[in-house]
Amino acid sequence: MLPPHRAARLAGLGTTIFTEMTALAARTGAINLGQGFPDSDGPGEVIEAGVAALRGGENQYAPLPGVPALREAVREHQLRHYGLNPEDLLITFGATEAIAAALLGLCDPGDGVLVLEPYYDSYSACISFAGAERLTVTLRPPDFALEAEALRAAIERGGGRVRVLLLNSPHNPTGRVLDRSELELIAAACVEHDLICISDEVYEHLVYEGEHIPPATLPGMAERTLTISSVGKSFSFTGWKIGWCSGPAELVAATRTVKQYLTFAGGTPLQHAAAAALRLNPVHLHTLRDNLRARRDELCAGLSAAGLSPITPAGTYFVNADVGGDAAEFCRTLPERCGVVAIPTGAFYDDQAAASTLVRFAFCKRAEVIAEASRRLASLA
Ligand code: PMP
Ligand code: GLN
């Protein structure tokens, strides 16, 4: 029924690697260290705030820009943590909707979008929905550093059509936290080529070494950066899909214009709960971070004991390990060999050769689950 070109485009989008791997874990009963989601709830008082909003009649459409309490809490958050005072902000259905609406609102067909490779899967899909062209800047193991030459070459490939630089730090899937010198390279390129920066900061509070520096805090960047985050990773509520973006009025307005026709406005009670989350004592953020750092170290030790070579990440809840052979084959057979699911890091690259022996493991799991996964992986050694 569908014309062949349409069927081919849909086949190209396929099923996300996360859906595929979670289905594989369910089918085989393996421990799922593939798709990244915590196996414990976030703070109880935040859940109670959601219940109170549900019971308190907060069940109709939210205002398009978001409920005032959450808008105010996001504004306070940006100011308290980074000294940023954005012109405008918008509540979205997770960071995912902010990314999609921003790309659709800011790009014309044929525009170039620079993206760090490996990249989160929705980036490439949304760039293609916008009719834009993806221009990758490859981060290579083991250090995944951003190189000036790779950035310059990608801009050159764009031949004057580059409009947006879509950034993600702390970075999924590598766990890199870009340092100030790398961000300065990015800022210099954005200013020189008059680029808009869309900055995905969903892992902003999951940093174990170094610090998260929002690109909007660099000179010349506040006026060209749309900063995106969400409640999912910072508070362990990935299923709530409450996110936000903030920045210059024109960039937020472009995103809002598209957002009205994607989902309009939703999740009203959870928006109230997210406001409560952002207003918690920051000690909650530190406790989560310190717990995750311990899980990271346990899983890295387990991977090493299994004869694999983990690259300790400075942020996010993902660790990549060199498995010394074909990573895709390794992941296909891992559930039957030892009852663990993980993702070949190559799934996040266009350049398949760049990380053909790397596997991404999520460590946002309870200590006993990490211990059991490590015990199972040890049988590989
Ligand atoms: N960006 C990155 C880099 C991610 O890893 C994720 C994880 N789901 C998202 C965006 C999506 O965030 P949300 O769940 O808030 O839509
Ligand atoms: N961000 C999660 C990960 O990288 C997955 C989110 C999703 O399934 N789309 O594992």
For the CA of 232, the closest atom of ligand 2 is 1
Integer Cα distance of 178 and 141 in angstroms: 14
Give me the pLDDT at residue 346, please. 96
Give me the pLDDT at residue 335, please. 96
HSE-CB for 119 with a 13 A CA cutoff: 25
* 208 contact partners, CB below 8 Å, separation of at least 6: 289, 292, 293, 296, 313, 314, 315
For residues 38-53, average pLDDT: 97
User: Measured in angstroms, how far is the CA atom of residue 95 from the centroid of ligand 1?
Assistant: 6
243 lines ligand 2 (CB under 6 A): no
Q: Determine which residue's CA is closest to atom 3 belonging to ligand 2.
A: 36
User: Measured in angstroms, how far is the CA atom of residue 193 from the centroid of ligand 2?
Assistant: 32
Give me the pLDDT at residue 35, please. 94
56 vs 353, residue with greater confidence: 56
Give me the pLDDT at residue 1, please. 87
Q: Which ligand sits closest to the CA of 270?
A: 1
User: Measured in angstroms, how far is the CA atom of residue 380 from the centroid of ligand 1?
Assistant: 31
18 lines ligand 2 (CB under 6 A): yes
Confidence of residue 76 (pLDDT cuts 50, 70, 90): very high
Give me the pLDDT at residue 220, please. 97
Mutate to test the pocket of ligand 1, among 202, 238, 348 (most ligand atoms within 8 A of CB): 202
3-state secondary structure of 80: helix
Regarding pTM above 0.75, the answer is yes
Give me the pLDDT at residue 352, please. 81
Confidence of residue 234 (pLDDT cuts 50, 70, 90): very high
Considering the chain, what is the average pLDDT of its residues? Answer: 97
